[in-house]
Amino acid sequence: MTVPASIVRDTGGCRASHANLIATLTGLDNLDPTRPSRLPGWSVGHVLTHLARNADSHVDMLDGRPQYPSLEQRNTDIDTGASRDADTLIADVTTSITRLEAAWDAVDDWDFTATTLSGTRPGVSLPLLRWREVEVHRVDLGLGDDLESDFAAMNRAYVRIDLHHLEMMWRARRPMGLTPLPAVVLAEPPHRRLGWFMGRIDIDGVGPAGMIS
């Protein structure tokens, strides 16, 4: 069973997460871009720059271009942009979101193949991939009290839809007939299962999911 394409390509959920991200960032009094994020080796400035350039990369894919010229160029752009001041970073995130949402509005047919950094994907999957970037990297910014509560506060529709996709990916990689997920993982609430899939939350009794980082 798969999630209908009409649900996957629905941009409404990601637009809501975009608005939530912008409201959070603009509501901060003293955002420090140099502070370490929850991602090893990345500051808050790195994460914000990545969110902006990722939005631009989705515009490129909608226009038929590859997501990024190369992994090296992607990383260089993030490193270069990370040292900007907070106002500039927030403005970059905001304007890049505006460009992407305008590009979504212009799409008449989602039946195309996009070239992502990791390979080709159906065009209908792009809104969900962007939604994942926004929700997970908002947690990575480390603006909340702790990792667990930030995952628990994620958009519930996003958690439900992406968790379904990730569990399908897990089953596709296992021999036929095996339990889709370890019992200790299935016993966890949805936000913890998602965090495990994303490599952010450890679950006792099992190793990392090794799927997304």
Q: Extract the residue ranges of the chain whose pLDDT is less than 50.
A: 1-7
Q: Each residue of 152-171: pLDDT tens digit?
A: 999 999 999 999 888 888 87
- Cα–Cα dist 105/118, whole Å: 25
CA dihedral of 169, 71, 120, 127, whole degrees rounded to 10? 70
Written as six digits, the tokens of 58 are 């989705």
pLDDT at position 179: 60
pLDDT at position 182: 85
With 0.85 as the threshold, say if the pTM is over it.
yes
What are the residue ranges spanned by the domains of the chain? 5-143, 155-201
CATH number for the domain whose boundaries are 5-143: 1.20.120.450
- Cα–Cα dist 154/68, whole Å: 27
pLDDT at position 63: 97
The neighbour count for residue 52, using CB atoms within 10 Å, is 24
